[in-house]
Amino acid sequence: MNADTDIKTRIIEIEILRYNPETDIEPAFQTYEVPCHEDWVVLDAVNYIKDEIDRTLSYRWSCHMAVCGSCGMMVNGEPTLSCHSFLRDHPDKLRIEPLANFPIERDLVVVMDDFIDKLKSVKPYIVPREKRSIDDGTHTQMPAELAKFKQYTLCINCTLCYAACPQYMLNEGFVGPAALALAHRYNLDSRDVGASAREDVVASNPGVWECSFVGACSDVCPHDVDPASAIQQAKIAGVLDYFKSFLMPKGEAKQ
Amino acid sequence: MSRKPFIRPVPTASWWLHQGRYTRYMIREATCILIGAYSAVLIVGLMRLGEGKVAYDAYLATVQSPAGMLFHIVALAFALYHTTSWFNVTPKAMPLVYAGKRVPGGLIIGAHYIGWAVVSVILLVLVGA
């Protein structure tokens, strides 16, 4: 208890967008005065509200260490992992909303079905050249081959990039940053031959060509995956493949 | 319990005013209008040049008028913003791997500025000569 009293606290006024699908017609803000410790993250303050002030508040969280990707929220208008954002970096007033560009299920919980469907559509797994058995042993890869795509493996599917993307906001058909970055990650993998199977989704209009390189996805990504870079590279790869198909109409270089 | 997800309205006309990064993006995209206008003015100049000295002198007078000067200054500012904002994103679109390591972004951007300077000097020499 003594240790507790030593820690500096600050009253932060936290506005949270609440929505109860059973009783509300539309969401509305509710304000809480929260005595916050300076070493807390935003998620700690939300947990305090849930534990001490209002048990009806719904939100997703799990790991509290920027690994699980479930506690994404709009904090003062910015897509943020709430466990990854210290209160000492925020003013005395916080406005917390569910991640933008997704339907609200309840309070801070959003409906992620659209993202999950898009993720599935890019086949985010290794499509192997030939069927291998366990007896074949591990599939070796050189460090240089790994370096090509390692950055894009760090995605935790937190969907902050979708909440930041104005293209996704204006056009829900857009496949979107995280899914396209993962498609690119597997296309770059030396063990994978699935590029042609992903092409229909990735190299299409709702795929990479819908992206106009605002770059907001990369700004908000908590793991510096840089989806914007993956999409621009996929555009270049798509153009090269298009011209190659004229030069080598019968070429089946990619399987 | 029934589900009734709420879809928030999208500000289709004003979305780009809601965040600084959206506004900067729209300015970057809008620069192409001024660059297009500058190209049109230049093409008109070539046409006047083809029509003879009188027509070309009239064109030069228009370009050198206060309004013409103002247009060119604004077009130059937009062209500079357009160029630098695109140079700065090149490491994302064209990452280079050398000897198993990523070439630092600053080096790729710097190479673009050097290339720009070299081309500018060559053009100035050609025009000045």
A166 with B15: Cβ contact below 8 A: yes
Among chain B residues, CA nearest to A235: B93
Tokens matching residue B26: 């729209």
B110 occurs within a structural domain: yes
Entry field: residues in chain A: 255
Residue with tokens 């064209």: B94
The domain containing residue B97 runs over which residues?
Answer: 88-129
Instruction: Specify the higher pLDDT residue, B101 or A225.
Output: A225
CB A178 within 8 A of CB A161: yes
- Chain B CB within 8 Å of residue A148 CB: yes
Can you state the angle between helices B53-64 and B66-87, rounded to 10 degrees? 70
With bands split at pLDDT 50, 70 and 90, how would you rate the model's confidence at A4? Answer: low
pLDDT of residue B67: 95
Q: How far apart are CA B95 and CA A148, in angstroms?
A: 10
Per-residue b or e along B94-108, where b marks 16 or more CB atoms closer than 10 Å to that residue's CB: ebeeeeeeeeebeeb
- How many other C-beta atoms can be found within 10 angstroms of the C-beta atom of residue B28? 20
Q: How far apart are CA A32 and CA A24, in angstroms?
A: 19
B5 occurs within a structural domain: no
pLDDT of residue A251: 54
CB contacts under 8 A, A 5-44 vs B, are: 19, 21-22, 24, 26-27
**2.30.30.180, 1.10.599.10, 3.40.50.920, 1.10.1060.10: CATH of A113-247:** 1.10.1060.10
Nearest CA of chain B to the CA of A125: how many Å?
24
Q: How far apart are CA A156 and CA A70, in angstroms?
A: 9
Within its chain, how far is the Cα of A2 from the centroid?
40
CB contacts under 8 A, A 173-232 vs B, are: 212-216, 218-219, 226, 228-229, 232
Q: Which of B51, B75, B99 is the last residue of a domain?
A: B75
Q: How far apart are CA A236 and CA A245, in angstroms?
A: 14
Q: What is the pLDDT of residues B54-107, one digit of tens each?
A: 999 999 999 999 999 999 999 999 999 999 988 988 888 888 877 777 788 899
Q: Are residues B25 and B66 in the same domain?
A: yes
Q: Are residues B100 and B68 in the same domain?
A: no
Counting Cα atoms < 13 Å in the Cβ hemisphere of B124 gives: 6
Number of H helices, E strands in chain A: 10, 7
Q: Give bridge partners of residue A16 from the DSSP assignment.
A: A30, A96
Contacts for B13 with CB less than 8 Å, ≥ 6 apart:
none
Q: Are residues B99 and B70 in the same domain?
A: no
The structural domain count of chain B equals 2
Q: What is the pLDDT of residues B8-53, one digit of tens each?
A: 999 999 999 999 999 999 998 999 999 999 999 999 999 999 999 9
Q: Are residues B101 and B56 in the same domain?
A: no
Contacts for B91 with CB less than 8 Å, ≥ 6 apart:
A229, B105, B108, B109
Task: Pick the range with the lowest mean pLDDT from A6-15, A153-162, A219-228, B5-14.
Answer: A6-15
Count of A–B CB contacts within 8 Å?
A: 77
CA angle A200–A211–A178, rounded 5-degree value? 75
B38 occurs within a structural domain: yes
Residue with tokens 């025009």: B127
Q: What is the pLDDT of residues A67-90, one digit of tens each?
A: 999 999 999 999 999 999 999 999
CA dihedral A120, A195, A237, B104 (to 10 degrees): 80
Average pLDDT over chain A, rounded to an integer: 92
Q: Give bridge partners of residue A96 from the DSSP assignment.
A: A16, A75
User: Which runs of consecutive H residues, i.e. helices, occur in A54-159?
Assistant: 113-121, 143-147
Tokens matching residue A120: 């599935």
Burial of A103 (0-12, 13-18, 19+ CB in 10 A): middle
CATH superfamily of this structure's domain A2-110:
Beta-grasp domain (3.10.20.30)
Tokens matching residue B76: 């130059």
Residue in B1, B2, B6 to test binding to A, most A beta-carbons within 10 Å = B6
The ranges assigned to domains in chain A are 2-110, 113-247
Q: Are residues B20 and B62 in the same domain?
A: yes
- Chain A CB within 8 Å of residue B94 CB: yes
